[in-house]
Amino acid sequence: MRACYAAGKAQFDSHSDAHILGELARWHNFALEQAQKGAWLAQIAVLRVALRDIPDFTLFLEFAIPRMGKRADAVALIGDCVFVIEFKVGSDSFDRHALEQVEDYALDLKNFHSGSHDLAIVPILVPTRADISRDVQMELAFDLVSKPLCVTSRDLGEVLRLVSARHSAAFDADAWVNSGYRPTPTIVEAARALYSRHDVKEIARSDADAVNLGRTQDAISTVIDASRAQGLKSVCFITGVPGAGKTLAGLTVATRRQDADVSEHATYLTGNGPLVEVLREALARDTCERTGVSKATAARHVAAFIQNIHNFRDDYAGNDTVPSDHVVVFDEAQRAWTRAQASKFMQAKRNIPDFDMSEPEFLLSVMDRHSDWCTVVCLVGGGQEINTGEAGLSEWMAAIRDRFPHWRVHVSDQIEHPDYDLHQDAKAFIASEQVTPSPDLHLGVSMRSFRAETLSDFMSHVLNGDAAAARAAVARLDKYPLMLTRDLGAARAWLKSKARGSERYGLVASSGAHRLRPEGLHIKASIDPANWFLNGRDDVRSSFALEEAASEFDIQGLELDWTGVCWDADLRYDEGWRTLNFKGTRWQSINDDWRQRYLKNAYRVILTRARQGLVVFVPNGDASDATRPPHFYDGTCDYLRDCGFETL
């Protein structure tokens, strides 16, 4: 049900207030307080007056905005114009947060509701005690979404009449309300919705290009159910392009079984510390707001559901304890540590001198302690290893082959793609009878950027040094701005001008971008991920302040709506890419193949974090500074322009 109440003019005029109130109450599962009933009656009274002289309309009350898990107070279709109306009953001010809220509703309809793509959408905020309207001049943006109008109850009818007069074309309201809704939530939005028991179908796209997200979840569930029924131990490897929904798939598996039989209880694990911190804080804040429990109580419950994989490892090292979970989801499995890295850390930091396993081998050995069954779900990103000591996918295959021949292995049929960097031995293992490939275990369409599903392909061409292929790919990114500037101030201004509602923007840079410091960006000064990703415009620690840049380590697995990518001389173009490390007072060439790959992957990560568009800032350099002369940067700027970036 998209709305709790829907009516045309004749119906709305004939329905009593009590009838409408009954319809609104019928769809709410909670006990209605008198204040809510009073608010609805106040809204109905205002709408009766405002719509009295409108000859034809369709009105929806409590209209669902599933991606945000909320409902708009009212949506009115008048001609071919969509009015999204948010009331603040008893308020006399046009609160900034309320304006953001109603603008978010309008943008959600524009971006994700197929019936609204070509229509003008006008968000309106109505504080019922406000005396004077302001900002009532409608200004449609490029996508036909108006800036929010600030209107009093007294003026609402006149505003609706004047604006709708420009949009009087005949329109099928039934077709509009029943048209497809294809949201692409951020990972924070998705986690909040899933954790509060929303079905993934309510928050994720269902169009043909992205339908295999559902197939992937079904395939994983089939493996888990078969493992339990038959007493098997199994592991699934899910592959996918950046932003395709791997984390969403993993969170769905974990939340679906969160309240299941204790023998099926699942935990979501990741070695991505910032992701853990951001998701835990977001879910704790949301749970506290929704349920009224204390923040500490909410945080404890969330911590048991989302865990850092290294803490999980430490809990089971040096003992034979059988884990409580029969199902674990390992996100970014390619980042698990090699034998050398894990052994070095466990011996030096955890005082376990005989630890001699890679993280994949140890983690599988912990789950193998179950006497009956278990399922491990590994989410694998291609081309995303960004740190020394990360094992990659081949280490998992070697561990299974050498120590766990009794496990059933299910893999994506794209697992041998070059992005996943499998060794020949691993490829030979995948061809064995122990392994079952499936197309349903690959997520091939990016859902991070609803404006640019092929962004990862474009950025791959850029980082592969193929300007011609990049230029060809730009044609498929016509709704996704790719800007280039030598002025950081201009980049900041562009980001602020593009974001509407609560759309989030921020600066990102590689962790090796040490010579951005003269530009005022000190990448060595770490951000506080929870504050940077979650706090509002009034907090200087948030991404909105544009004072701190997040590195690839901070932002991998997360996203923003708009990003400013700050490009330093650690990756510079000079008839091909050069990779360098700044040490002491000078740049040093990186000759190790793996370290070169890590640096390129760092840029791959920061270049694919924006959902709606990005601007790249390349400094001009300084001829008087030997660490950043202009020629360190000019070649990169020229190359990016050749790839199709547009000069700001």
The ranges of the chain annotated as CATH 3.40.1350 are 3-177
Show the tokens assigned to 398. Answer: 């070697």
Mean pLDDT of 276-285: 90
**pLDDT reported for residue 205:** 46
Query: Sorting pLDDT into bands at 50, 70 and 90, what band is 197?
Result: low
Mean pLDDT of 481-510: 97
Q: What percent of the chain has pLDDT over 90?
A: 58
Q: What percent of the chain has pLDDT over 70?
A: 92
**pLDDT reported for residue 610:** 93
Query: Sorting pLDDT into bands at 50, 70 and 90, what band is 259?
Result: low
**pLDDT reported for residue 30:** 56
Mean pLDDT of 252-262: 68
End-to-end CA distance of the chain: 44
* Span of 96-100, 288-292, 590-594 with lowest mean pLDDT: 288-292
Whether pLDDT at 207 is above 50: no
CATH code at 455-647: 3.40.50
Residues contacting residue 14 through CB under 8 Å, at least 6 positions apart: none
CATH code at 187-443: 3.40.50
The ranges of the chain annotated as CATH 3.40.50 are 187-443, 455-647
**pLDDT reported for residue 515:** 97
Q: Helices (DSSP H) in 231-368: which residue ranges?
A: 246-256, 273-291, 295-305, 309-316, 339-349, 359-367
Residues contacting residue 250 through CB under 8 Å, at least 6 positions apart: 238, 268, 329, 331, 377, 379
Mean pLDDT of 522-541: 94
**pLDDT reported for residue 173:** 85
199, 243 in Cβ contact below 8 A? no
Q: CA-based Rg of the chain, rounded to a whole angstrom?
A: 27
* Span of 142-156, 175-189, 336-350, 464-478 with lowest mean pLDDT: 175-189
Q: Residue 582 and residue 190: Cα distance in Å, rounded?
A: 38
**pLDDT reported for residue 420:** 81
Whether pLDDT at 616 is above 70: yes
**pLDDT reported for residue 66:** 72
Whether pLDDT at 391 is above 80: no
Q: What is the mean pLDDT of the chain?
A: 88
Residues contacting residue 161 through CB under 8 Å, at least 6 positions apart: 53, 54
**pLDDT reported for residue 206:** 43
Number of neighbouring beta carbons within 10 Å of residue 169? 8
CA distances from 311 to 249, 280, 325, 594 (A): 22, 15, 15, 27
**pLDDT reported for residue 286:** 86
Query: Sorting pLDDT into bands at 50, 70 and 90, what band is 208?
Result: very low
Whether pLDDT at 26 is above 50: yes
Q: Residue 203 and residue 16: Cα distance in Å, rounded?
A: 34
Listed as own residue / partner, the contacts of 50-56 with beta carbons closer than 8 Å and 24 or more positions apart are: 50/153, 50/156, 50/157, 50/160, 51/9, 51/12, 51/76, 51/157, 51/160, 52/157, 53/157, 53/161, 54/9, 54/78, 54/157, 54/160, 54/161, 54/164, 55/9, 56/8, 56/9
Whether pLDDT at 68 is above 90: no
Cross-strand pairs, 330: 269, 378
Query: Please, is 299 exposed, middle or buried when counting C-beta atoms within 10 Å of its C-beta (0-12, 13-18, 19+)?
Result: middle
CATH code at 3-177: 3.40.1350
> What is the DSSP secondary-structure string of 427-466?
HHHHTSTTEEEEGGGEE-S--S-TT-TTHHHHHHHHHTT-
